Structure 1
Amino acid sequence: MQVDKVINNNLIRSHDEKGQEVLVMGCGIGFKKKSGEYIDDGKVEKVYVLRKEERQHMEELFSSMPLECIQATNEIVEYATISLGKQLSNYLYLNLCDHIHFAIQRSKGGNPIQNALLTEIKRFYNHEYQIGMESLNIIKRKTGVFLPEDEAGFIAMHLVNASMDFHDMGHTQEMMKIIRLWKELISTIIIKKISPCSRKWDLRHSV
């Protein structure tokens, strides 16, 4: 693949062998690179195949995110995809990375967010909750910050939101109520965030 545009030292816009526009992520992959030069395959950590509107949002978010948050997000999404055995929306990368970064900032500031729905999430979405708990270990390994159990619940619901079919009759009224309450809770958190740009993509679940 060749460089179309260097977004930052860790992110490049390119085209794959099928001619699809992609974002290529890797530590130092864009350092001193210029348009038209070949990408070092040995530095490629992740290739994102995205629609135009997704790419624009991802470029905007990832250009301002610490590399370790992006790496943690990639590993969590990969782990969740295998564990759940289903396709997850590309917007999960955006929503989850944004949330993890914000949660780390809050935790470092001694002001973590309590998850009022944690008990219900454990009951109705235990598989996703268990993935959320493993995600905390991934985040700790990548960033050095161990987030509280409440965040496992938030991550679980991001996974539910990224994978659910709203026409799936397997979702009971109680489960749908939890999803609605979670979105209301997350929306309240977003309003309090320092960076307003993330509101553009939060809670989308298009596949």
Structure 2
Amino acid sequence: MRISRIFNNNVALATSHTGVETVVIGRGLAFGKRKGDLIDPTRVEQTFVPEEGTSDERLRWSLAEIPPEVLALATELEQQVRADSNFSVSHSFIIPMADHLNFALTRAREGITVDYPLALEVSQLYPREVEFGRRAVALTAQRTGVQLPEHEAIPLALHLVNSQFATADMSQTYRMTEIFSKIFDLFKTAYGREIDQDSMSAARFVTHLRYLFVRSSEGRKPSEDTASPVLLDAVRTSYPKAFACAQKVYLLLEMQFGLALSEDELTYLTIHLARLAKDLGLVE
């Protein structure tokens, strides 16, 4: 690989003989080098392919400002995620993860604390991602010697949530989390009980909502087979309380958040809510 751009002594953009651009990280690998020089492979410690659509300005600023050890840490974390069958990552989160870690480390060294208002909701909705966040905090301490506050697991978890969808916009993830919290409140009001976050039905429901949110936001139609009116009538008759709750969820998503939904979604929402109620031993 040859150097196509140098960001600092430790980070460069290299191009292979096939034209693929890769960010290479390693102590002193670009020291004394110029554009077009060959990369010494023995000095390369970490590599990653920049996310398609990342602007040159954003890439240049991030790679020039973020220390190589933080970039290496973010790369290691993404490698762990991609090796975990529980997650299906649609785009790289190395740059935003490294960016967050860099500021978090700076805050920790300066004794600055930050509150995350969605901490409870994130912990309830994304337990696997929050567990990743906790592992990331522990690995950060091992690699840098700096102990981040435990609550830093929350934004780190949201970076992973965001990376599992096609969008790279974190604001969508925060908005989605707020919506899910409101939906769970509707269930609690309807049934007088909170959803069991550890149940398989809860995990399936959250997964369904996540893809529903992204799909609807992008204006895409559901890929499932179309539910028949007969099925909707049967579901409404069998699960009247779940159907009434699903109607409120349907209206919340359409009117308050502007998501475009089909009547089929009302059927699927009712079925999921009925399963959640059954997990809690509740009857219609």
Superposition TM-score, scaled by structure 2 size: 0.55
Find the aligned partners of 2:111 and 2:180 in 1 and give their Cα distance: 28
Find the aligned partners of 2:55 and 2:8 in 1 and give their Cα distance: 14
Tell me if the contact between 1:157 and 1:179 (Cα under 8 Å) persists in the aligned partners: no
Using the TM superposition, give the Cα deviation of residue 19 of structure 1 relative to its aligned residue in structure 2, in angstroms: 1.1
Q: Residues 132-176 of structure 1, C-alpha deviation per residue, up to 9 Å, x if partnerless? A: 11001111122211111110011001110111368xxxxxxxx92
Find the aligned partners of 2:78 and 2:119 in 1 and give their Cα distance: 21
Tell me if the contact between 1:21 and 1:49 (Cα under 8 Å) persists in the aligned partners: yes
Using the TM superposition, give the Cα deviation of residue 37 of structure 1 relative to its aligned residue in structure 2, in angstroms: 2.2
> Equivalent residues in 2 for 1:9-20 (5 A)?
9-20=9-20
1:159 paired residue number: 160
Structure 2: state its 5+ residue gaps. Answer: 168-174, 182-284
1:178 paired residue number: 178
1:109 paired residue number: 110
Using the TM superposition, give the Cα deviation of residue 52 of structure 1 relative to its aligned residue in structure 2, in angstroms: 6.6
2:251 paired residue number: none
Find the aligned partners of 2:61 and 2:53 in 1 and give their Cα distance: 11
Tell me if the contact between 2:3 and 2:38 (Cα under 8 Å) persists in the aligned partners: yes
1:60 paired residue number: 61
Tell me if the contact between 1:140 and 1:146 (Cα under 8 Å) persists in the aligned partners: yes
1:80 paired residue number: 81
Tell me if the contact between 1:2 and 1:38 (Cα under 8 Å) persists in the aligned partners: yes
AA in 2 matched with 1:39: I
Q: What is the DSSP-based 3-state SS (H/G/I as helix, E as strand, rest coil) of the residue aligned with 1:70? A: helix
Match of 1:89 among 76, 88, 91: 91
Q: Residues 1-51 of structure 1, C-alpha deviation per residue, up to 9 Å, x if partnerless? A: 112232211112221242122222222111111233211111212333236
Alpha-carbon distance change, 104 to 178 in structure 1, aligned in 2, over 3 angstroms = same
Tell me if the contact between 1:71 and 1:142 (Cα under 8 Å) persists in the aligned partners: no
Alpha-carbon distance change, 30 to 55 in structure 1, aligned in 2, over 3 angstroms = farther
Tell me if the contact between 2:121 and 2:177 (Cα under 8 Å) persists in the aligned partners: no
> Equivalent residues in 2 for 1:136-155 (5 A)?
136-155=137-156
Flag the structure with larger Rg: 2
Alpha-carbon distance change, 138 to 39 in structure 1, aligned in 2, over 3 angstroms = same
AA in 1 matched with 2:144: T
AA in 2 matched with 1:49: V
User: Is residue 2:22 matched to residue 1:22?
Assistant: yes
AA in 2 matched with 1:32: G
Using the TM superposition, give the Cα deviation of residue 87 of structure 1 relative to its aligned residue in structure 2, in angstroms: 2.5
Q: Indicate the structure with greater helix content.
A: 2
**Structure having greater relative contact order (Cα 8 Å, sep ≥ 6):** 1
Find the aligned partners of 1:82 and 1:15 in 2 and give their Cα distance: 26
Tell me if the contact between 1:69 and 1:97 (Cα under 8 Å) persists in the aligned partners: yes
Using the TM superposition, give the Cα deviation of residue 123 of structure 1 relative to its aligned residue in structure 2, in angstroms: 1.4
Find the aligned partners of 1:21 and 1:180 in 2 and give their Cα distance: 39
Q: Percent identity?
A: 27
Alpha-carbon distance change, 140 to 41 in structure 1, aligned in 2, over 3 angstroms = same
Q: Matched residue pairs, number?
A: 172
